[in-house]
Amino acid sequence: MSLKNTEYITGIVVYTGHETKIQMNSAKGVYKQSTMMKTTNPLIAQVFVLQLLLSAAGGFIGAQWHSENLDNPYLLFHTPGADEDNPTKGATLPDDDFDTWQKIAGAWILICTNFVPISLLVTVEMVKFFQGIIM
């Protein structure tokens, strides 16, 4: 529809809808990834999950071993509440074995951080991800 033979026109826009020029041109851009990134991202996720599983298993086994060998006089575990003259006397695990498991699992996470051989790539991807969230 077009108006002809008029110098000006006054009007009011009631509803523009989603099919306006601005809305049609405001499509979100596609995030481009290289082939290497498409290949390494799932592999890094798998290695990270494997690292967490091994650390949890190591923490469980370590806490179990610690609780079984707490009274071993050769290991001399020193825990709060233990007698100074006889370190094994009165030495017990904390009420919650979960604390011991957390400490040992945390140590295993630090030990297993070398599993991810491409730590720089992981760091760059994390930075890109968080910058994308902020934007």
Cβ neighbours for 100, distance < 8 A, ≥ 6 positions apart: 62, 63, 66, 67, 93, 94
Of 105, 96, 101, 91, residue with least CA distance to 63: 101
What average pLDDT score do residues 86-111 get? 69
Q: What is the DSSP string of 110-121?
A: HHGGGG-S-HHH
Of 66, 69, 73, residue with least CA distance to 88: 73
The rounded percent of the chain whose pLDDT value lies above 70 is: 75
Q: pLDDT tens-digit profile of 16-70?
A: 777 777 777 777 777 888 787 788 778 888 888 888 899 999 988 988 887 787 7
Q: What's the pLDDT score for residue 15? A: 73
In the chain the first and final C-alpha atoms are separated, in Å, by 41
Q: Which residue has the tokens 């290695």?
A: 47
Q: What's the pLDDT score for residue 57? A: 92
Q: Check pLDDT > 70 for residue 77.
A: no
pTM across the whole model? 0.51
What average pLDDT score do residues 77-101 get? 58
* 63, containing H or E segment: helix 35-68
- Of residues 72 and 11, more confidently modeled: 11
For the chain, what are the domain ranges?
Answer: 39-134
In this prediction, residue 91 has a pLDDT band, given cuts at 50, 70 and 90, of very low
Q: Average the pLDDT over each of 12-21, 68-77, 85-94 and give the range with the smallest value.
A: 85-94
Q: What's the pLDDT score for residue 113? A: 78
Of 1, 101, 23, 116, residue with least CA distance to 61: 101
Question: Residue 64, exposed/middle/buried by CB under 10 A (0-12, 13-18, 19+)?
Answer: middle
